[in-house]
């Protein structure tokens, strides 16, 4: 424990020493609903983190990380968020792409791609969802065709909800490589540069007015032969493993941000008198309880050797935090009252308004509420699977 | 910090679960609940004397095992799952913490020793367990008399009074001090069992009409302070919350078994998404409440007692809401038979309502949390 405390102090000191000067503008920015804010400065910040060896601290040392334990990673996330560390531009590379390459990549792929992620110089986007493959991820229609001359793959189709594609350098794409295959069979996992002929990126303006998401159109775009991860046909396996690498440690940082939002609501309610409403007080108390439970829930499910019970609880985690956060958005607006509807440059109000709007996405991305409940029922409780339709 | 059970805790859990599945079966509960008995004497004997559950959290110097809140919560959760009809909560989560907090050294040796040895069921006659400071609502008056003290007053709802070998009675002295008396069953008090809707936990009224007790019956070391009461309530609330989430899991397990067998329209009703989603939501609520219960248990030994009290209050809020929800979903998902006496959901449903009112409502707990969040000391 005392080692953890020393580590905590180390992170805190580093953040306080480095989140200064031009980077001070980044404090508490780039979070929920602000993914596209100050991108260039945030990329520089990634490089600043890299100089301190704070990118990818959970990766094994042999691959350039610090090999931190789960407990240390939690401490890092907490202190990063407490200091106001901005939303991480490198999150997809660090949390998803890197661990996938470490597990499944060739030595050449690791040598080519891990350094760019570690140094905060190459940024990744995730090419999973498609217009007709949202919850039904197996319904992927984007095609990859082998170019017999080069061994490269030529990709055509459309990906959607691609976070920060317009600010990224590379994208990993799951595409169908076997003609006539359906479902989870016949998929391929490809690494592709976004800067090339045959790739077009169209931002999607979202409910909150910002543009974090994109549609990415591929028209004969090229993935090099050596940029296939695993074998053609392994796409589903690798895509699922990739999702498994996100164990939720980064959500501990997210919880610090939730706490700040809750604190803001309490502060505002004291100022505008809503703190005298018994109903508002009860809702705020319930929010506090939910957040505290969320913290302990994360600590239970992050265990290295989960029991059947904690595995089931892990399935419940996303549903819990996303619905809690969505409800907090409503509570924030109810506390703001008439002001909630008025756009202003008051940063507190702006933050809560953005949160209110963006939280509607929380219960949709990464598996909708309805899909989460299916997963809990089927995988957690062993209840019968949903029948598939024929359309 | 990672929250997981140690191998020892895991073992306690598995053994207790196995034991209770056998000894506190539906048939066993019904023998008590339908038979008008106060408790399952055989079960209590096994728990207290043979398995040593009551010794779990008693300090080693008084004959206990010196384990912590987590072990007690593990046992309470499992006892709740089977609606175990035994005075375990009152003895371990209410009476023992009170003696430990406020008792004299002699009293600790006597009573904690007897509890640890499994020889004594003890309860506490709080006048109003729903307020943060029970010392303010003590309903019994104590005045000095020739042989000791004379006690006067009535405590309406005392859990497990009809079972307990000893009842602890906080009573106010003429100078305002709250003293604590330990009364054996034959001390002259009246015990009037109440006919309760929840038949799995006995409640009785304690009557003290000028009962004279010897000076040795007074067991506090210079009065019971509000802080001491508060510490007792933390233990009592945490144990109750653990029991409540256990009961929720217990009735949920019954429900899952039923809907997996019940066939309508040529398929099990468990295959309908309307039902799957309701069950999945219960998993979310169970995960939330269980996490707070065991998180609060792990944090309880820390130094920040105010923070700990809030976490435990929060655990009670979640556990009360969850226990009721799980029981009402059980009735609904059992359909018609869920409304019958024959099937078990009603036992859990009634217990849920009775437990929710114990030690104060969820609303009162949330009022306390809000008061702490706003730092304004209470209700607007």
Closest CA to A192 of A216, A172, A213: A172
A302 closest CB neighbour out of B2, B292, B296: B2
Cα nearest neighbour of A73 on chain B = B1
Determine the distance in angstroms separating the CA of B5 from the nearest CA of chain A, rounded to an integer: 9
Q: Which residue has the higher pLDDT, A98 or A138?
A: A98
Is residue A378 part of the annotated active site? The answer reads no
Tens digit of pLDDT for each residue in B252-301?
999 999 999 999 999 999 999 999 999 999 999 999 999 999 999 999 98
* Mean pLDDT computed over every residue of chain A: 93
Sign (positive/negative) of CA torsion B9, B11, B14, B17? Answer: negative
Q: What confidence tens digit (pLDDT) does each residue in A154-173 have? A: 999 999 999 889 999 999 99
pLDDT of residue A362: 93
Confidence (pLDDT) at A249: 73
Alpha-carbon gap, residue A342 to A330, rounded angstroms: 15
- For residue B380, pLDDT over 60 is answered with no
Angle, alpha carbons A195-A197-A201 (nearest 5°): 60
Its ipTM equals 0.95
Q: What is the pLDDT of residues B78-104, one digit of tens each?
A: 999 999 999 999 999 999 999 999 999
Distance CA A139, CA A387 (A): 15
Q: How much is the pLDDT for B302? A: 82
A22-36, A240-254, A268-282: the lowest-pLDDT one: A240-254
Average pLDDT over residues A239-257: 80
Active site residue: A44, A178, A200, A246, which one? Answer: A246
> Cβ neighbours of residue A130 under 8 Å, at least 6 residues apart?
A139, A140, A141, A142, A157, A158, A159, A160
A331: Cβ contacts below 8 Å, ≥ 6 apart: A265, A280, A283, A284, A287
Query: pLDDT tens-digit profile of A273-289?
Result: 999 999 999 999 999 99
Band (pLDDT 50/70/90 cuts) for residue A53 is: very high
Q: A 63-82 residues with CB below 8 A of B?
A: 70-71, 74
- Rounded CA-CA distance B297/B238 in Å is 7
HEC secondary structure over B302-338:
CCCHHHHHHHHHHHHHHHHHHHHHHHHHHHHHHHHHH
Decide if A71 and B317 are in contact by the 8 Å CB cutoff.
no
Task: Identify the contact set of chain B against chain A, taking CB-CB distances under 8 A.
Answer: 1-5, 10, 256, 260, 267-268, 270-271, 273, 276-277, 279-281, 283-284, 286-292, 294-296, 310-311, 314, 317-318, 363, 366-367, 369-370, 373-374, 376, 379-380
What's the distance, CA A10 to chain centroid? 26
In this predicted model, what pLDDT tens digit does every residue of A58-73 receive, in sequence order? Answer: 999 999 999 998 889 8
Cα B123–Cα B124–Cα B128 angle in degrees, nearest 5: 140
Q: Tell if the CB–CB gap between A270 and B318 is shorter than 8 Å.
A: no
Q: Give per-residue pLDDT as tens, B46-59.
A: 999 999 999 999 99
Tell me if A74 and B1 make a contact (CB, 8 A cut-off).
yes
Among residues 81-100 of chain A, which lie with CB inside 8 Å of chain B? none
Partner B contacted by A263 (CB < 8 A): no
Which position has the token pair 């110097």? B61
The runs of H, that is alpha helices, within A273-346 are: 278-301, 308-336
Tell me the pLDDT band of B379, cut-offs 50, 70 and 90: low
Please tell me the distance from the alpha carbon of residue B252 to that of residue B264, in angstroms, as a whole number. Answer: 20
Given its phi and psi angles, is residue B238 left (phi above 0), alpha (psi -120 to 50 degrees) or beta? alpha
Q: Are B328 and B320 a contacting pair, CB within 8 Å?
A: no
Q: What pLDDT digit, counting tens, does each position of B140-176 carry?
A: 999 999 989 999 999 999 999 999 999 999 999 999 9
A-B Cβ pairs (cutoff 8 Å, strict): 146
- Mean pLDDT across chain B: 94
Band of residue B136 on the pLDDT scale cut at 50, 70, 90:
confident
Report the predicted TM-score, pTM, of the whole model to 2 decimal places.
Answer: 0.93
Task: Encode pLDDT of B306-325 as tens digits.
Answer: 999 999 999 999 999 999 99
Q: What's the pLDDT score for residue A247?
A: 64
Does pLDDT of B133 surpass 70? no
């Amino acid at each position: 424990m005392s080692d953890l405390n020393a580590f905590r102090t180390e992170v805190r000191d580093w953040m306080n020493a480095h989140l200064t000067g031009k980077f001070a503008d980044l404090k508490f920015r780039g979070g929920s609903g602000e993914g596209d804010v100050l991108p260039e400065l945030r990329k520089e910040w990634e490089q600043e983190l890299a100089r301190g060896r704070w990118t990818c601290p959970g990766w094994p040392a042999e691959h350039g990380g610090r090999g931190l334990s789960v407990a240390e990673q939690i401490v890092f996330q907490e202190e990063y968020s407490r200091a106001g560390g901005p939303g991480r531009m490198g999150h997809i590379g660090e949390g998803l792409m890197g661990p996938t390459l470490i597990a499944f990549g060739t030595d050449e792929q690791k040598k080519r791609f891990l350094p760019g992620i570690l140094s905060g110089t190459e940024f990744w986007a995730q090419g999973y969802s498609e217009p007709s493959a949202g919850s039904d991820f197996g319904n992927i229609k984007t095609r990859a065709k082998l170019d017999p001359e080069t061994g490269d793959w030529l990709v055509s189709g459309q990906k959607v909800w691609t976070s920060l594609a317009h600010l990224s350098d590379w994208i990993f794409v799951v595409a169908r490589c076997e003609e006539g295959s359906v479902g989870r069979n016949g998929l391929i996992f490809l690494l592709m540069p976004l800067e090339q002929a045959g790739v077009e990126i169209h931002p999607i303006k979202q409910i909150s007015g910002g543009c974090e998401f994109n549609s990415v159109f591929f028209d004969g775009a090229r993935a090099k032969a050596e940029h296939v991860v695993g074998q053609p046909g392994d796409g589903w396996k690798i895509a699922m493993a990739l999702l498994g690498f996100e164990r939720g440690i980064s959500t501990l940082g997210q919880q610090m941000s939730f706490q700040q939002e809750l604190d803001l609501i309490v502060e505002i309610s004291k100022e505008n008198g809503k703190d005298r409403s018994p109903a508002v007080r009860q809702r705020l108390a319930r929010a506090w309880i939910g957040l505290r439970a969320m913290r302990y829930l994360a600590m239970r499910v992050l265990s290295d050797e989960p029991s059947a019970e904690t595995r089931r609880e892990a399935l419940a985690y996303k549903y819990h935090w996303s619905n809690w956060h969505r409800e907090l958005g409503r509570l924030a607006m109810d506390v703001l009252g008439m002001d909630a509807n008025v756009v202003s440059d008051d940063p507190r109000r702006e933050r809560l308004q953005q949160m209110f709007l963006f939280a509607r996405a929380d219960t949709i991305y990464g598996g909708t509420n309805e899909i989460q409940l299916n997963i809990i029922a089927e995988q957690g409780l062993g209840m019968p699977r949903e029948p598939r339709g024929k359309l | 910090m990672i929250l997981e059970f140690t191998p020892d805790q895991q073992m306690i859990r598995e053994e207790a679960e196995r034991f209770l599945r056998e000894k506190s079966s539906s048939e066993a509960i019904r023998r008590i609940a339908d038979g008008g008995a106060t408790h399952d004497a055989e079960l209590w004997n096994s728990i207290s004397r043979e398995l040593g559950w009551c010794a779990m959290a008693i300090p080693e110097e008084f004959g206990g095992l010196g384990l912590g809140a987590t072990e007690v919560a593990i046992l309470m959760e499992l006892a709740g799952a089977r609606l175990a009809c035994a005075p375990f909560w009152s003895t371990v989560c209410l009476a023992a913490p009170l003696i430990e907090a406020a008792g004299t050294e002699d009293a600790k040796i006597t009573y904690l020793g007897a509890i640890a040895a499994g020889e004594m069921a003890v309860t506490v006659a709080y006048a109003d367990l729903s307020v943060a400071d029970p010392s303010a609502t003590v309903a019994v008056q104590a005045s000095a008399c020739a042989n000791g003290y004379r006690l006067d007053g009535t405590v309406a709802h005392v859990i497990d009074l009809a079972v307990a070998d000893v009842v602890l009675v906080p009573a106010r002295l003429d100078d305002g001090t709250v003293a604590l008396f330990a009364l054996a069953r034959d001390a002259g008090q009246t015990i009037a069992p109440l006919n309760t809707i929840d038949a799995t936990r006995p409640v009785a009224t304690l009557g003290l009409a000028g009962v004279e007790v010897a000076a040795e019956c007074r067991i506090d070391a210079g009065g019971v302070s509000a802080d001491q009461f508060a510490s007792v309530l933390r233990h009592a609330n945490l144990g109750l919350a653990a029991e409540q989430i256990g009961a929720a899991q217990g009735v949920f397990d019954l429900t899952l078994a039923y809907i997996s067998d019940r066939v309508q329209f040529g398929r099990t009703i468990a295959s309908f998404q309307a039902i799957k989603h309701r069950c999945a939501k219960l998993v979310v609520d169970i995960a939330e409440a269980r996490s707070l219960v065991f998180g609060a248990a792990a944090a309880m030994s820390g130094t920040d007692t105010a923070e700990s009290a809030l976490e435990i209050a929060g655990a009670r809020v979640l556990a009360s809401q969850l226990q009721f929800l799980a029981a009402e979903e059980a009735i609904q998902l059992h359909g018609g038979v869920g409304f019958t006496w024959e099937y078990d959901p009603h036992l859990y449903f009634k217990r849920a309502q009775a437990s929710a009112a114990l030690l104060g409502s969820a609303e009162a707990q949330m009022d306390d949390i809000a008061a702490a969040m706003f730092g304004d000391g209470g209700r607007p």
